[in-house]
Each structure stands twice: as C-alpha cells, then as structure tokens.
Amino acid sequence: MNFLLKAATIIDPASPFHNKTVDILIENGIIADINAAIKASDSVEEIALNNLHVSQGWFDSSVCFGEPGYEERETIDNGLQVAAKSGFTAIGLHPNTFPVIDNSASISFLKGKAQNHAVSLYPIGALTTQSAGKDMAELFDMQQAGAIAFGDYKKAIQNPNLLKIALLYAQNFDGLVMSFPQENNIAGKGMVNEEEQSTLLGLKGIPALAEELQIARDLFLLEYTGGKLHIPTISTAKSVELIREAKAKGLHISCSTTVHHLVLTDKELDTFDTNYKVLPPLRIQKDVDALIKGVEDGTIDMVTSDHRPMDIEHKKVEFDNAKYGTIGLESAFGILNHLLGIEKTVDMLTNGKSIFGIKNTIIDKGNKADLSLFNSKNDAIFTEKQILSTSKNCALVGKNILGETYGIIANGKMILK
C-alpha cells in the first residue's frame, strides 16, 4: 500500500525536517518524498488527521501478553493490534508464558506468530531455564533465533555467581543481560512499599532497600565482569543515584522506569484497588520526583508501560491474593506527554531501541517508513473506554492525559484506530 500523510508535523531531532509541517509520501514501505505539498495519485491513500504529528516508531521494552499458555489474558494477535493503535511500532515481549520462552524453538514460535504484522515483535528470552533461577538458559541459541535480551521477568537473580557467569558468557555474542532489581530476602512477603502508608493499611511492605541492595550488587558484578547490563523498572531515588554513579564510571549500564511509577504513589492504595498492586511497588513522592529528574537528565534511558494483562480472576480478589501488574500501552503516550512534553516523550519512547540493538530509522527521503502517528494536543482524562486490551487491569484510569495516538505505519502496513 502507498500512503500520503497530509500536513504532518515531524518530531525527530535527527531529521532535517524536525518540527516542520509537511506532506509525507510513502511508497512500498519507503518514504518516497517529503515536501510542503504533495499531490496524491490514484494509487495512493491520502491520510488527513487533526493536528497530525509523526515521529520515529516507538518501542516498548517491557510488554507481556499471555500466549502461549495464558491466552485468556491476551493473545499475540490482539496484543500487537493494541500496541499499534497505541502508537508502538515495536515491542520487547517478556518470556513469562507457559511454557516459559527459554529456548530457540519458543523464540521462533513468537517470531512466527508476529510475522507479517505492522508491529515488530522482539522476544526477550529467559535468562535461566524455566525462569527458575538455577541454570542458565540457551542464550546464544535464542539470540540466533531472534532474542534481543535475556531476563527472568519480575524474578530476581538471587545467585550472584549466576549473574556473573551470564555477563561473562553474553559478551561472546554482544548479548544484553537483564536483572530485575529485588533482593527477595529483604522483600520477604511484602507486597506494597514499606512506608507510612503500608502501616496505616496493614499491608506487608517491601522496603526500598530491597531494590537498592540488588542494584548495588549487580553494579559491582558488572564492574568486575564487563558486558552489558539492563536494569528494568527502577522505582526509588537511591536507585537513580546508584545508576547515575555507575554511568559516570563508564559502566555499560542502562535502565528503565515505568509510566505508572512516574505519576503514581502509594497513596493510591487507600481503596485497596488491586490494579495498583504492581512490582516494584508504588513508592512515595520523593521517589517519583527523583525518577522524573532521572528521566530529564538522561540517567534513566527509557520509559516503559510495563504492560502486563491479568485476567479478572487474578485481580478481583483480596489484595493479598491478587497478582501483580497493570496494563499500560494505551495510556503511555498521553500520560507521558502530559508529564514531560512532546519532545522528551518521543525521546523516552524511541531511545530504548539502540540499547536493545534495534535500528533507529530517521524520518527522511529514501528511508524505511517506521512511523508513530499522534495528536500532541487536547487535555483529557484516560477512561476505561479507551482500553483496547483483552484484560482491563489498568492503574491509570482517571489520570490526566495530553494528546492521543492515531496508530502507526510500519513494515509496509498502516494500522489506525
């Protein structure tokens, strides 16, 4: 299909057309022309949308669906449709399925399910067999099959020697190791942030120390071994400080935080709404402020939705028994744009590609069209009606958003809401 985007404002600092409002002609998946006014031929579909903005395609490094094994939560097909309509042209998909994605055959299965879709699915392989934390999985074989990184989703690597070996081994093929930041012996049976709010509500707490101690350990190991380490979804002020210091030392360290950790605190738990039961837990305002500063100064490399669909049977239960997780693909752009502004939002949604070995595609003539389409304006409230996922467990319903997503053009296809 050929497309002509009319009056599109380009947000791409690397492009010669940055901040210019132009027409963009796309033929056979390639940007054929960018000009002030382009006349559409009969073979071109003209796209004219209110306050249309385009940027390089967005990437979410922390997404879960359910298939295989938990299709009632989300299928790959519908999950990719949700990602597309939320403005994402690429996702990193976690291995927390049944069976766990811990070998090359299962990586190939995921790639096959997403074949010919507009959204590119990049599997993250489990670091350990069955994500059990004991034996290292087949990292090289998975990388050859298409895995972009290796980590056990929401499961900390308790054995430091295992992480040491993984960091050493992955250097043979430039692999990226992910380590979830939680020291389980400190976290214990906690489920929310250990602070005044947990005491008032009578809920067992996870202290910030549990995250920070694990990060400090991982950074010591990285300094010893070399290699590449990514710490996903950090949530505390001290975590930001530790990673800032490690980057100043020149360590090859990257990290992310989540949309919900940038805008929510543990005060949300007053109603015992299990949609706010997330891991890491929601922290206090001091931590939120430090995370925002970390985003603004570049200590935090990317922001993720940490999209984790969960069926109603695991959320509409007592708080103690509820599963962790919130969905966030649909609300990510609007929340971030309201908080950070358009250019920083686009930066946070595209910067992660290079860290995970995915090529950034500058918006210019002759380049592949990998575009997110959106409206940067219009204040609104995010509502449940805007949820497209099969599961509806969203912690961000009722929060302020700015702008809306229209969809994507990628891999020669267009998907609009």
From CA 121, how far away is CA 111, in angstroms rounded? 7
| The two structure tokens encoding residue 45 | 């579909």
Tell me the backbone φ, ψ of residue 48, rounded to 5 degrees.
-125, 115
Contact call for residues 155 and 133 (beta carbons, < 8 A)? yes
* Gap between the Cα atoms of 67 and 413, Å rounded: 24
Q: How many CB atoms lie within 10 A of CB 368?
A: 16
Find residue 52's DSSP bridge partners: 375
Q: Mapping DSSP to helix (H, G, I), strand (E, B) and coil, where does residue 94 land?
A: coil
60, 102, 306, 370: which is the annotated catalytic residue? 306
Helix (H) or strand (E) holding 415: strand 413-416
Q: Are 230 and 178 in contact (CB under 8 A)?
A: yes
Judge whether 12 counts as a catalytic residue. no
Distance CA 302, CA 348 (A): 5
Helix (H, G, I), strand (E, B) or coil at 235: coil
Helix-then-strand count for the chain, H and E? 13, 18
Q: Where are the alpha helices (DSSP H) in 86-194?
A: 104-113, 139-145, 160-170, 184-187
Give strand pairing partners of 255: 231
CA distance 144 to 182: 29
Cα separation of 62 and 403, whole Å?
23
Instruction: Judge whether 266 and 193 are in contact, CB under 8 Å.
Output: yes
130 SS3 class: helix
Q: For residues 394 and 399, what is the distance between their CA atoms, to the nearest angstrom? A: 11
Q: Which residue has 């940490």 as its token pair?
A: 306
Task: Reduce the DSSP state of residue 39 to 3 states and report it.
Answer: coil
Whole-angstrom Cα distance, residue 124 to residue 275?
Answer: 25
DSSP assignment letter at 266: G
**What 8-state DSSP symbol labels residue 358?**
P
Q: What are the catalytic residues?
A: 306
